[in-house]
């Protein structure tokens, strides 16, 4: 695993989603990388706070019931010395202002929304960590395959790309270095080249100049791969001339 790959594991490490070998390697990297150490501290603190979130679902009609009772609910005044002297004397009820109860309802609703948001954030973080770990495992499986073969090529503007293919796994991995960022609102899209027909194979992170990407789908009959610049979200078919074309290693 390269240093570039290790930089991407801060989230998975903070959520304890790394395997023993990866965790040991990442912790060695962590000791020498202050940027990753700071990110891990922040992600760990956030995960701890999200773990304390509690979601309570109010019964049906709860809000409507509270709003209906705003005009009728009364509250006893605070106890005073005169009240203590005449414990048996009747107390005059004081109506709670409408805006006070309305504010309480709004506060409860806000707290409920906050806890739901925290729960959703924690759930999404766990799902993202699982997806990241699965992708990492798949990449490692291809790179470590006994029949893995690689081919490296120089790309535009001093960038380089290496494609690794495992016939037994029927998968391919693309490793990019020094890639220029695509124009705003655009993304690099990877393609399998099957006799001139381009099949979508995934998107690259537009904000990273170096990355390792598991191409989506099986290699199948593809003999090459290409990279184009596409609108954010990708395209079903290439909409621009390729910025790179590479033959897959035989």
| Residue 205: both structure tokens together | 């992170």
pLDDT band at 8 (very low <50, low <70, confident <90, very high): confident
pLDDT band at 232 (very low <50, low <70, confident <90, very high): very high
pLDDT for 53 equals 47
Beta carbons within 10 angstroms of residue 223's beta carbon? 13
Q: Where are the beta strands (DSSP E) in the chain?
A: 74-75, 94-95, 149-154, 160-166, 171-177, 186-194, 197-203, 211-214, 224-231, 244-247
Give the residue, 164 or 71, on which the prediction is more confident.
164
Give the residue, 133 or 94, on which the prediction is more confident.
133
Domain map (residue ranges) of the chain: 1-84+91-144, 149-247
The candidate with the shortest Cα–Cα distance to 55, out of 121, 125, 1, is: 121
Tens-digit pLDDT profile for residues 76-99: 554 444 454 444 444 444 454 554
Q: Give the C-alpha separation, 229 to 183, whole Å.
A: 9
Long-range contacts of 57-63 (CB under 8 A, 24+ apart): 58/112, 63/105, 63/109
């Amino acid at each position: 695993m390269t240093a570039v790959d290790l930089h991407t594991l801060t989230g998975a490490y903070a959520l304890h989603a790394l395997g023993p070998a990866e965790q040991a390697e990442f912790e060695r990297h962590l000791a020498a990388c202050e940027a990753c150490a700071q990110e891990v501290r922040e992600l760990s603190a956030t995960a701890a706070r999200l773990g304390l979130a509690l979601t309570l679902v109010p019964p049906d009609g709860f809000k409507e019931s509270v709003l209906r009772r705003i005009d009728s609910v009364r509250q006893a005044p605070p106890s005073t010395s005169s009240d203590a002297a005449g414990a048996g004397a009747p107390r005059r009820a004081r109506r709670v202002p409408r805006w006070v109860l309305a504010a309480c309802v709004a506060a409860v609703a806000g707290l409920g929304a906050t806890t739901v948001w925290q729960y959703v954030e924690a759930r999404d973080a766990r799902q993202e960590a699982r997806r990241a770990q699965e992708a990492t495992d798949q990449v490692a499986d291809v790179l470590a395959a006994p029949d893995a073969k690689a081919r490296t090529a120089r790309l535009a503007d001093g960038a380089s790309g290496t494609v690794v293919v495992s016939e037994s796994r029927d998968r391919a991995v693309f490793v990019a270095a020094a890639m220029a960022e695509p124009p705003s609102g655009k993304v690099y899209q990877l393609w399998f080249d099957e006799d001139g027909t381009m099949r979508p194979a995934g998107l690259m992170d537009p904000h990273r100049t170096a990355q390792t990407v598991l191409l989506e789908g099986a290699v199948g009959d593809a003999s090459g791969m290409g990279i184009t610049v596409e609108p954010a979200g990708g395209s079903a078919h290439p909409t621009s001339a390729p910025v790179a074309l590479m033959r897959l290693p035989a």
